[in-house]
Amino acid sequence: MNLLYILIKIAGAVKYLIPFLIMQACVCCNFGKSQETETVASVDLEKYLGLWYEIASFPADFQKGCRCTTAEYKRIPGKKTIKVINRCLKIKRNGSKMSVVKGKIFTIKGSNNTRLKVQFLWPFRSEYHIIVLADDYSYAIVVHPSHHYLWILNRDPYMTTDTYSRLMQVIKNKGYDISLLQKTEHNCEGN
């Protein structure tokens, strides 16, 4: 291959990367309103590890077309960071495709593990605050301090109506616009 061909291929790939980088810069740098987020008192990361199902979220461009969304947290042996693997089934005109994004989670010093930073693309890191956590670690609500992103997570793909209703009230009481929440479909068999 000649050098010109390689440069054309690189330029073609970069045009898809630029919107993602701009979005990451906006999220990571907290452009827009950023508010102090009241988190839970502390998080035992060993109990937090494992598979979580997204029950509902504020729609995010990077999750457009997703259903059957999960986040799996694993300890990286010998490191202080945690590996996160986000998966979802992306529905497209020509069929479904499993989307997998891997990242790292870093704890924010002095936060008792309630405020974390997630990194999917170096060098960008975005804050991730745990504002609700069940005593038995069966469900959680995580947010970005801008109030633009919110996820309700559960250890099972389905949450009881009673629990979901209680969490909706908590979210509302914490100043989030619950009309933005969209439930995540977990009808994944045969896809």
pLDDT in tens, 50-69: 999 999 999 887 777 788 99
Query: Does 188 fall in a domain?
Result: no
pLDDT value for 188: 77
Q: Alpha carbon of 143 to those of 44, 74, 77, 119: distances in Å? A: 18, 20, 27, 15
With contact defined as beta carbons under 8 Å apart, do 159 and 148 qualify?
no
pLDDT value for 61: 74
Number of domains in the chain: 1
DSSP state of 127: E
Amino acid at 95: G
Structure tokens of 116? 């974390």
pLDDT value for 189: 65
Query: Does 124 fall in a domain?
Result: yes
pLDDT value for 109: 93
Query: Does 189 fall in a domain?
Result: no
pLDDT value for 161: 96
Domain encompassing residue 83: 3-183
Query: Does 144 fall in a domain?
Result: yes
Q: pLDDT below 70 — which residues of the chain?
A: 1-35, 189-191
Query: Does 28 fall in a domain?
Result: yes
The domain spanning residue 164 has which CATH number?
2.40.128.20
Query: Does 152 fall in a domain?
Result: yes
Whether pTM > 0.75 for this model: the answer is: yes
pLDDT value for 71: 95
Query: Does 111 fall in a domain?
Result: yes
Query: Does 190 fall in a domain?
Result: no
